[in-house]
Each structure stands twice: as C-alpha cells, then as structure tokens.
Amino acid sequence: MQRIAIIGAGPGGICAGIRLKQAGHEDFVILEQAGGVGGTWWHNSYPGCACDVPSHLYSFSFALKRDWPRPYATQPEIRAYMEDCVARFGLWPHIRLKTPVSAARWIETQAAWELTLADGGTLQAEVLVGAVGMFNLPAWPAIAGLDRFAGTVFHSARWNHAHDLAGRDVAVIGSAASAVQFVPQIARLARRLDVYQRTPNWVRPREDAYTPEQLAEFRDDPAAAAAERETVWNWVNAIQTLVDPDILRDSAAVCLQNLDVVKDPATRAKLTPDYPFGAKRALISNDWYPTFNRSNVQLVSEPIAGITPEAIVTRDGTPRVVDTIVLATGFDTTRFLSTIDVSGRDGVRLDDAWADGAQAYLGITVAGFPNLFMLYGPNTNNGSIIFQIECQVDYLLRHLQRMAREKLAWIEVKPEVMADYNRRLQADLDAVAVWHSGAHDYYRAASGRIVTQWPHGMDRYREITAANDDDAYLGGGDTGD
C-alpha cells in the first residue's frame, strides 16, 4: 500500500511531491493521465499560449526562476520549468505517466483509499491528494449539428498540430482567454477567419518585454529578482479583490484605450463589454484587437443556430462555409476532483455531495471524505495559483505530521466546520459586487453558487491556511506505529 497517492502531475502534484520529499516522505506516487508533466501546461499547446500571471510570481518559492525571458511566460517556458523541477528534485521515480484514474473509493475497514486505474488495475493509499485542478476537462459546446460537420474540428485545449491552417477557411467558436492568445497567431495563416463571440471581454495591454539590462540584473542579482516579485505580488494582490473603485475604474479605462485601435466602429462596438470590469476574468493582449483590422478576419456576434456539414449557420439564417472549426469554449471548471468517480464514507459520491455546487473547507478537505486533500480545489482560484497551491501543500504537510504524531489512521473535517466556513465564504463572495452584475462567467455551478473564486487577497489565504485548526477535524483509528 502506498502511503500517499497524488492524482495529477501538474503544478499541484509537482509541488506536493517536492515538498513531501523535502519533509522526508518517500512513500508516495503521482498518477498522471498525460504523457508528460505540467498539467494544463502540457495539454494546452495552442499557438501563442502563455500565462496571464506575471512570470516572477509563477515559480515555486523554493525553486525561484529569476531568468524568465519575458514578463508573461509562454507555455513552452512554463512546461520546461515544471519539467526541470521534476528532474531537479528527483520526482521521476514517483511519477507514473499515461495512468488515468477512473475511480477512488474509501474503504472503511482499512482506513484507506482504493484507486481504480483506467487499465483496470488498482492501488491503495492511506492518503489521497487530488491535484486535478480546474482546467483539466475541456468543455465541448452543445451545438446542433457539430457532430455532423464534414471538416476538421478540434478543441483549443487539445490542439491538432498535424492540421495545417494555412490557406484554410477557419471558424473559432469562443472569444475568451485561449482565443485571445491564439486567434492573432492563426489569423496570419488562414485565408479567412470567423471569430464567434458570445460576450466581449475586458482586455488589458500586455507588457511584452524586459530590456537586456533588466534580464541581466534579474539573473545576476537575487535581490533585484526578489524586488520584482514583490512588486508583482503587491499589484496582483491589490487588483484581485475587485473592491477598490479606483482600480476598477482605471483598469476599465486602460482596456478601452487598448480597444481604440479597432478601426471599424461597428466591430469596436461589438468588442466593447456592457458589464463592469472584473465581472468576468480580465484578459491581456496587445494583438487581439489589431487582429480585427485584418481584411481576412470577421467578428460574428450573432448567436449560432446550428452547424451543417459545410457551414456554421447563425440565428439570422446566414451560413458561413468553413473547412475547420476550432472550439475555444474553455473548460468544465466547476467539477474539480468530481471529474473522477470519488466515493467517501457510506459510498457517498463526491458528485452527489456537490449537487448544489462544489464546496470544501479552505478549498482543501470535504466532510465525509477522510484523508482526502485537494489542491486547487473549490473557491481557491485567484491571484497566482502557484502561491495558492503552496499554501495548500503546506497545509497538507502539517496535517500529515499531526496524523503521524498522534498515530491517527484518518482525519476528516467536521461537517459543521465546513458548512460554517462556506456560509462565511459565500457572504464574502456576495460582497464582490462585480461578480453579481449578470455577466456570464465560468465561476458558477448550475445552482448559481460561485464555486471557483477566492474573494480575498493571497495574503489572506496564506493566513487562514497557516492557522492551527486541529480542532476542525475528527480523527480516529490507530496506525499501530
């Protein structure tokens, strides 16, 4: 039996593995469905893929990267960093690639988790760490006729690099985070490009380059890199709470100034949000808006009625013939670990426990699911997820140490503690006015509950996860050690 099983070798699983080894734990395994490590930075390889958190806040505090070549790192750079961390900290012997987990079941009599693998094999572990995050399951739109399209269809999160877009008539369905990055890249290749937009986004300009002098200073002077990280921290920590009216107003003004580059007034109007800044995830790009000045690019805001084998038909009856459809429709962000069939005490499925929307204590533990810890779980999305994950892994380690110290076979958050935490959390979420402006976003479960976002700063999350909360848990059994 493995002591600890970690599902996912993205940033969460990598951070957990490294910190476990640093704390002296060697009896753990990391199970990864993909053919490599990095999680979303392995899967998302579309043209122009990059992070929208500044680079100097996107490395682990115990493995700071000072030589990021640009203010916002690209996917190949982040993936290389994650692979370097795995090699540098000796994680490869613990990682099993191409090993999807299809189910996890708590076995009461053994105080352990049994994991069923996609190939039919099983393994057991005393502690289960779910590090699947939010952005692991691509969302396919329910559009009539999509399955009958005769051309090529693929999701941006699973980019088809074998399909050459040069000279093709391409449709992109979706205009949010991924599209903002790849549309400008493929617009240079396609003969014609139609971009289907449901809702416009607020798009800030991106700082694209460091000077050679800055890069040299970051590489050669740790204090300079630390100062840059502190500057970025303060900015991200301030803007993410979305309650300062001056920040909101100034941010909207910067986005509108960025939009002014669009020459056609009608197109510019379609790209102008009618909801307040911060109501949806704000994006960053310098080339998104200029793309709509190209003669081969058309913005389509009329809703899609259906798809024929040759064309996309909008509600006004207009067919637009294309040979390629790229779905930039995001992810099923509200499922978290329930994308796997997880059953806790008395066989209760996590999906059923979350019928009204995913919730957890601190975004990490769930009542009725002993010895289960989640990384990037419900209501932890904001700021730098790398920092949030580090807080969660430190929390995990502290409770593992307690279990060892007190010889506990299991611990489980008390239902009343989790319920009280989530009542207070939802009240804090309700206080963020822009999130209740009626804009469509990925933050909510079907019930309307916001299940993805953290409403405070990163410093507040560090504070609550670092506090001693042993009395929030039930504990039992005896390891016999």
pLDDT digits (tens, 9 = 90+) for 115-159: 999 999 999 999 999 999 888 889 999 999 999 999 999 999 999
For the chain, give the mean pLDDT: 96
- The per-residue pLDDT for 481 is 54
pLDDT at 98 over 60: yes
Mean pLDDT (whole number) for 284-309: 98
pLDDT at 1 over 60: no
pLDDT at 180 over 90: yes
pLDDT at 102 over 60: yes
- The per-residue pLDDT for 208 is 84
- The per-residue pLDDT for 477 is 81
pLDDT at 197 over 90: yes
Distance between CA atoms of 266 and 38, rounded to whole angstroms? Answer: 41
| 186-218: b (≥16 Cβ within 10 Å) or e | bbeebebbbbbbeebbbbbebeeebeeeebebb
**pTM (2 d.p.):** 0.96
The pLDDT confidence band at residue 441, using thresholds 50, 70 and 90, is confident
CA dihedral 150, 152, 157, 160 (to 10 degrees): 150
Give the number of other Cβ atoms within 10 Å of residue 333's Cβ: 21
Are the C-beta atoms of residues 34 and 43 closer than 8 Å to each other? Answer: yes
Two tokens at 190? Answer: 């396609």
Mean pLDDT (whole number) for 286-312: 98
pLDDT at 291 over 70: yes
- The per-residue pLDDT for 38 is 97
Distance between CA atoms of 283 and 18, rounded to whole angstroms? Answer: 31
End-to-end CA distance of the chain: 15
The pLDDT confidence band at residue 479, using thresholds 50, 70 and 90, is low
pLDDT tens-digit map of 10-34: 999 999 999 999 999 999 999 999 9
Supply the DSSP string of 412-452, one letter for each residue.
EE-HHHHHHHHHHHHHHHHT-GGGGSS---SSB-TTS-B-S
pLDDT at 480 over 60: no
pLDDT at 389 over 70: yes
- Distances in Å between the Cα of 205 and the Cα atoms of 193, 260, 290, 383 are 23, 12, 12, 18
pLDDT tens-digit map of 328-377: 999 999 999 999 999 999 999 999 999 999 999 999 999 999 999 999 99
Mean pLDDT (whole number) for 72-80: 97
- Pairwise pLDDT comparison (135 vs 36), residue with the higher score: 36
pLDDT at 248 over 70: yes
- Distances in Å between the Cα of 189 and the Cα atoms of 158, 323, 325 are 19, 14, 14
Mean pLDDT (whole number) for 32-43: 97
Q: For the chain, what percent of residues have pLDDT higher than 70?
A: 99
| 153-165: b (≥16 Cβ within 10 Å) or e | bbbbbebeeeeeb
